[in-house]
Amino acid sequence: MMYSVRITDLEKKFKNGRKIFSGLNLELEEASLTALVGASGEGKTTLLNVIGLLDTDYAGQVELFGQKASELNQAEMARLRNQQIGFILQEPLLIKNMNVRDNILLPTVYLDKGLRKSKDYYLKRAEKLAEQLGVSQVLSQKPATLSGGQKQRVTAIRALINEFWRMSQPDRWMKKTRKSS
């Protein structure tokens, strides 16, 4: 059985001494769907930050796609994040001076050449995903012109553009989307 994530004996303490995890073990199989559910302050975002290699201040072992996080340098972590993990955050972070299409395509710029497909492939993929998520009409616009829901969908497309594993904190925007449907 292949695991995309394997965590062993994770312990995380904050600077104020509060312990959020103690002896946490988790295995996520490749191609599986997993939901982190819990009340505010129980560590969902912290766990996503650890899995996403954004937080490395913990005890225990984190293994992503067969690689031990503790053995990766900053450049290797950045490469793994770009090539294997896509983030959909609660607050959509789009680059203001780039249009929507370029925001979506940004992760493809940083792919290793051996993994990169043609620019035309990514343009067509972006257009297809934008059509599916109802934002094809805003691809040439700047983020400032978009509604909050449109920004969230653009962020989701950006996370999907490289066809890999995704991490999301959809709770807030999913509620808004359901209300507006």
List pLDDT tens digits, range 37-89. 888 888 988 999 999 999 999 999 999 988 999 999 999 998 888 888 877 77
Token pair 């969230």 in the structure block, residue: 152
Whether residues 27 and 67 share a domain: the answer is: yes
Kindly report the backbone phi and psi dihedral angles of residue 65, in degrees, each rounded to the nearest multiple of 5, phi listed first.
55, 40
Query: Same domain, yes or no, for 53 and 109?
Result: no
Considering only residues 91 and 175, tell me which one the structure prediction assigns the higher pLDDT: 91
Does the residue 80 lie in any domain? no
Mean pLDDT of 86-115: 86
Confidence of residue 164 (pLDDT cuts 50, 70, 90): low
| Average pLDDT of every residue of the chain | 85
DSSP H helix total and E strand total for the chain: 6, 6
Whole-angstrom distance, CA of residue 112 vs CA of residue 179: 40
For residues 148 and 68, membership in a common domain is answered with no
| pLDDT band at 167; cut points 50, 70, 90 | low
Return the CATH number at 116. 3.40.50.300
The residue segments making up the domain with residue 23 are 3-72
Q: Determine how β-strand 67-68 pairs with β-strand 59-64.
A: antiparallel
Residues 77, 69: contact at Cβ < 8 Å? yes
Within a 10 A sphere around the Cβ of 165, how many other Cβ atoms? 19
